[in-house]
Amino acid sequence: MTSPPASVDGFVKQFLQNLNFDIGVSLSESSKNDQYLALAGTVRDYLMARWLDDQRRQGDLQAKGVCYLSAEYLLGRQLDNNLLASRLTDIASDALAQCGIDLDELRQLEVEPGLGNGGLGRLAACFIDSLATIGVPSIGYGIRYEYGIFRQTFEDGQQVEQPDAWLALGSPWEFPHPEAAQQISFGGHTETYDDDGVTRSRWIPGWNVQAVPYNYMVPGYHNGRVNTLRLWSAVATSAFDLRIFNSGDYEEAVRAQTFAENISKVLYPEDSTPQGKELRLQQQYFFVAASIGDFLENVLADGYDLAKLPERVIFQLNDTHPVIAVPELMRVLVDDKHMEWDAAWAITQQCFAYTCHTLLPEALEVWPVDLLGRLLPRHLEIIYRINDDFLEEVRERFGDDELRIRAMSIVGEHPFRSVRMAHLATVAGSKVNGVAELHSQLLRDKVLHDFDEFFPGKFTNVTNGVTPRRFIRLANPDLAGLITEALGAGWTVDLERLRGLEAFAADPEFRERFAAVKAGNKRRLAAVLRERDGLDVSEDHLLDVMVKRLHEYKRQMLQLLHIVTQYDRVVSGRVAASDITPRTFLFGAKAAPGYAMAKSIIHLINAVGEVVNDDPRVEGRLKVLFPPNYNVTLAERVIPAADLSEQISLAGKEASGTGNMKFALNGALTIGTDDGANVEIRELVGDENFFLFGMSEPEVEAQWAKGYRPAEFYQADAELRSAMDLIASGAFSGGDRSVFEPIVSNLLYDDRFMVLADYGSYIRAQAKVDAAYADPDAWTRSAILNVARTGFFSSDRSIRDYIDRIWHTPPVS
Ligand code: 26Q
């Protein structure tokens, strides 16, 4: 295996060869996209030898490894990351320059693979980066959606969704392996049969599809390691449509093909309140059955003794989306491999672990049994048996406490009989973890309390993290340079070393340079937004950023009420425009297409922006910017430029958050509630470097207990009343009071997420922000301390916690 030499001349040669022989064009005739594809091919070729080495090594070693099962991977652009990991950035840049090509221009051509919705999908992407960097034997398994998360545009301020055809211009980072396809079955019925005196069950499926794996390289950072991400794509089985074809029904044959290929067609853009759609369950089973089959047949050596499976693998379940893997492994062991039920169950329980990412009851996945029984009849039987055995044990322990038994059952009865996937995952998993300390505690105390009592020691915490490669090195090269100058190299893979920056916070010259980096990042962002969206960022404003999915619990409305309050203060004459701290409020958020309230809030943010930005009375001191289609690529520009990070969910609702970590690590100060990982951020950076506001989780509970009437908060606070009345008056909807009436009524009479209850505290905290920003040097000092003290949030640390607390899969060298 030749590996192209890591020299500029070698790179030029390989690049031109790729351009000529893989893309089929000469340099002078090539388009920018041709050049991008050839460049990607060159980087790929360079990584190839290491990749093959690693696959061989992991095969030879037979060490225990991780199969990370996730329905989403929100990867972001690949080129830059792969250049960085393989130390090729400068070489590639020089080589392209020799060919008269600007690397930066080619970077912009890559369409990011947006195969995820938000935090959970991005976490999976950070984790596979850390797994490769630490050197843990591992495979990421998922779905190769043909269309990722929709592209968002605005028409008259309202969200419009466009398909994300991310594969249209070529996909240089993937390697299809049709020869390694798995056949995946659905439907049909089950039967029992006599096998030499033993009664066994078998599944007679109704239809099949093929799962074709596409491999992606996951290079470790500067360690010569390359792991694999294996994403499955659905195609019709030839046997299936051949039969119909032979019957002479050509149209039906084509329809059958479309039906099969629909399975991996599109990512579901909901990230809570799952709709229980059949196609979604098909996707879930499709990818986990293919992954388990692939692992058992292709990763394990032939004839491997499955009784020892727990010594070789842990399947990590990224939320409940892959939980149907539990009955699938049982089916394979019991029906196909003829293992005894109890032995198979003991193995299965050791081979799975479950990560929960939510606290919202409506986000807990359930599948109606009639749907499950139709699509996966054998799996439903297996789930029933697991549940019977489990409830039997519960009875033995707690007696006939019917209420408790009903509460713990894997099969629920209301509003219709359905399988509770979180219960199945909890019963099956060797460990169950939440994603931040507070979240894990609330899981144990509330959501899964009975299970914690029943399975002592099963529950644990692994606080989320983010990869410093993408979110510091790539996104913030100037800060990375400054850190390296101060601390030397090495911090990228040992992020606790950032502590060393604490000493520099007292150094005026360092502070000046740090502030200059921030200013440079704002300039860079301004250039991007001008070019991308025609937006104007005032570089001398405080840049106040809220970027995340649009959800009522995340409370974009609270920030909007702050903006409207500031605006109202000026136009009502309560405050002189010249006394307002100049701020740019930057939003980025996609709403699930079926989530009407979320879409309406997007509309209102845009509407407020239209009015506030153009009102001369504001003297340009308040700007609301909402670039559409917030994604990983834009995040990499926005986060390093931010001064203030908005993490303002109602306490007890945000499981962790990971954007909060990215901002702190890039030197933004946080205004936030005591929720998710904010709690840990504040503990680390110190109260004086964090703007805390709002009720704590116990205070929220107490407020509910004594009865929450949001209208009372409205009545009691003149500024709140005035801001709400302004929205209700039609001031942001051309005088039409009906447009935003549902938002206003919802806040006044329902307000599930207690926006009005936290408003006063939020406004006071924002005043403290303004006061603090008035002393730029002190602000910078706080920002430096945020960077210095948040090295804990590297996803490398998260992965080490998973290894110690859950997986027990040491890195291999
Ligand atoms: C499930 C069934 C059907 C359709 C969609 C879904 C679905 C898809 C995605 C449900 C949930 C999600 C994503 C959830 C998510 O992103 N949760 C976030 O996970 C982050 C990583 O742990 C946390 O930091 C966030 O707090 C949490 O909201």
**Domain locations in the chain?**
485-800
Which position has the higher pLDDT, 446 or 276? 446
Instruction: Please work out whether the CB of residue 675 comes within 6 Å of at least one atom of ligand 1.
Output: no
Residue 364, classed as helix, strand or coil, is coil
Q: How far is the CA of 357 from the centre of ligand 1 (A)?
A: 6
Residue of the nearest CA to atom 4 in ligand 1?
Answer: 274
Q: How confident is the model at residue 3 (pLDDT cuts 50, 70, 90)?
A: low
> The pTM is what?
0.98
**CA distances to 86, 518, 639 from 684, in Å:** 33, 22, 20
Q: Is the pLDDT of residue 276 over 90?
A: no
Q: Which of 150, 319, 356, 550 to mutate to test the pocket of ligand 1 (most atoms within 8 A of CB)?
A: 319
**Residue 141 · residue 230 · CB < 8 Å:** yes
d(CA 75, CA 548) in angstroms, rounded, equals: 16
Portion of the chain with pLDDT greater than 70, in percent? 98
Mean pLDDT of the chain: 96
**pLDDT tens digit sequence for 564-593:** 999 999 999 999 999 999 999 999 999 999
pLDDT of residue 4: 47
Beginning with the edge strand found earlier in the chain, give each strand of the sheet holding 418-420 in spatial order.
366-368, 418-420, 411-412
Does ligand 1 have an atom closer than 6 angstroms to the CB of 123?
Answer: yes
Ligand 1 within 6 A of 119 CB?
yes
Q: Whose CA is nearest to atom 19 of ligand 1?
A: 120
- From the list 658, 670, 673, 790, the catalytic residue is 658
CB atoms within 10 A of CB 477: 17
273 belongs to the catalytic site = no
Predicted confidence (pLDDT) at residue 524 exceeds the cutoff of 50: yes
Q: Where does the pLDDT of residue 362 fall: very low under 50, low under 70, confident under 90, or very high at 90 and above? A: confident
- Contact indicator for 565, 762 with CB cutoff of 8 Å: no
Which among 549, 637, 682, 789 is annotated as catalytic? 549
In angstroms, the Cα distances linking 201 to 195, 334, 335, 369 are 10, 9, 6, 19
Of 548, 599, 603, 682, which residue is the catalytic one? 548
Q: Decide if pLDDT at 319 tops 60.
A: yes
- Residue 781 Cα to ligand 1 midpoint, Å, equals 35
**Cα 118 to ligand 1 centroid, rounded to whole Å:** 7
Query: What was the pLDDT predicted at 60?
Result: 74
Is any ligand 1 atom within 6 A of the Cβ of residue 656? yes
Tens of pLDDT, residues 92-113: 999 999 999 999 999 999 999 9
Q: Sign of the CA dihedral 673, 676, 680, 681?
A: negative
β-strands 432-434, 313-318 pairing: unpaired
pLDDT at 56: 83
Q: Whose CA is nearest to atom 21 of ligand 1?
A: 120
User: How many degrees, rounded to 5, is the angle at CA 363 between CA 675 and CA 417?
Assistant: 145
Is position 658 annotated as part of the catalytic site? yes
pLDDT for 253: 76
> Is residue 331 annotated as part of the catalytic site, yes or no?
no
Q: Please pick, among 77, 230, 357, 599, the residue that the annotation labels catalytic.
A: 357
* CA distance linking residue 136 with residue 122, whole number of Å: 19
13 as an active site residue: the answer is no
Confidence of residue 205 (pLDDT cuts 50, 70, 90): very high
Neighbours of 543 (CB within 10 A): 24
The candidate with the shortest Cα–Cα distance to 75, out of 109, 123, 119, 125, is: 125
Q: Is 658 in the pocket of ligand 1 (CB under 6 A)?
A: yes
Residue nearest to atom 8 of ligand 1 (CA): 271
Per-residue model confidence (pLDDT) at position 239: 63
- Find the 740 Cα to ligand 1 centroid distance in Å: 28
Per-residue pLDDT at 47 exceeds 90:
yes
Burial of 221 (0-12, 13-18, 19+ CB in 10 A): buried
In tens, the pLDDT along 727-786 reads 999 999 999 999 999 999 999 999 999 999 999 999 999 999 999 999 999 999 999 999
Q: What's the CA-to-centroid distance between 380 and ligand 1, angstroms?
A: 25
Return the residue whose CA atom lies nearest to atom 2 of ligand 1: 274
Q: Name the nearest CA neighbour of 128 among 671, 611, 709, 795.
A: 795
Ligand 1 pocket, 710 CB below 6 A? no
Q: For residue 1, what pLDDT is reported?
A: 40
Query: Which residue's CA is the closest to the ligand 1 atom numbered 3?
Result: 274
% of the chain residues with pLDDT over 90? 93
Residue 449's Cα: distance from chain center in Å? 26
Q: Give me the sign of the Cα torsion angle 293, 296, 299, 303.
A: negative
Question: Vertex 130, ends 127 and 136: CA angle to 5°?
Answer: 100
Catalytically annotated residue among 321, 423, 511, 662: 662
Q: Which pLDDT value is given to residue 2?
A: 41
Q: Is the pLDDT of residue 149 over 80?
A: yes
Mean pLDDT value across residues 491-498: 98
* pLDDT for the residue 53: 85
From the CA of 117, how far away is ligand 1's center (Å)? 8
- Whether 654 is in the pocket of ligand 1, judged by its Cβ within 6 Å, is yes
- Of the residues 144, 473, 554, 555, only one is catalytic, namely 554
CB of 274 sitting under 6 A from ligand 1: yes
What is the pLDDT, as a whole number, of residue 242? 60
Does residue 318's CB lie within 6 angstroms of at least one atom of ligand 1?
Answer: no
Beta strand 622-625 with 583-588 is parallel
Instruction: Match 């116990």 to its residue by tokens.
Output: 698
Ligand 1: atom nearest CA of 655 is 26
Q: Ligand 1 centroid to 549 CA: how many Å?
A: 10
Atom index in ligand 1 nearest the CA of residue 435 equals: 22
Is ligand 1 within 6 A of the CB of residue 271? yes
Residue given tokens 């050049």 in the structure block: 35
Q: Is residue 798 within 6 Å of ligand 1 at its C-beta?
A: no
Please tell me whether residue 255 adopts helix, strand or coil conformation: helix
662 is catalytic: yes
Ligand 1 within 6 A of 422 CB? no
By C-alpha distance, which of 128, 154, 5 is closest to 67? 128
The letter for the amino acid at 405 is I
User: How far apart (Å, rounded) are the C-alpha atoms in residues 614 and 331?
Assistant: 64
Which residues neighbour 190 within 8 Å (Cβ) at sequence distance 6 or greater?
Answer: 201, 202, 203, 204, 377, 378, 381
Residue of 357, 421, 632 best suited for mutating to test ligand 1, as the one with most atoms within 8 Å of CB: 357
CATH fold of 485-800: Rossmann fold (3.40.50)
**Which of 547, 549, 554, 792 is closest to 676 using CA atoms?**
554
Half-sphere exposure of residue 803: CA atoms within 13 angstroms, side-chain side: 20
Residue with the smallest CA separation from ligand 1 atom 24 is 657
pLDDT over 90 (residue 247) = no
Mean pLDDT of 667-694: 98
Q: Is a pLDDT exceeding 70 seen at residue 334?
A: yes
Q: Which of 126, 272, 283 to mutate to test the pocket of ligand 1 (most atoms within 8 A of CB)?
A: 272
Task: Categorize the per-residue pLDDT at 243 as very low, low, confident or very high, splitting at 50, 70 and 90.
Answer: low
Give the mutation target among 115, 117, 365, 420 for probing the ligand 1 site: most ligand atoms within 8 A of CB: 117
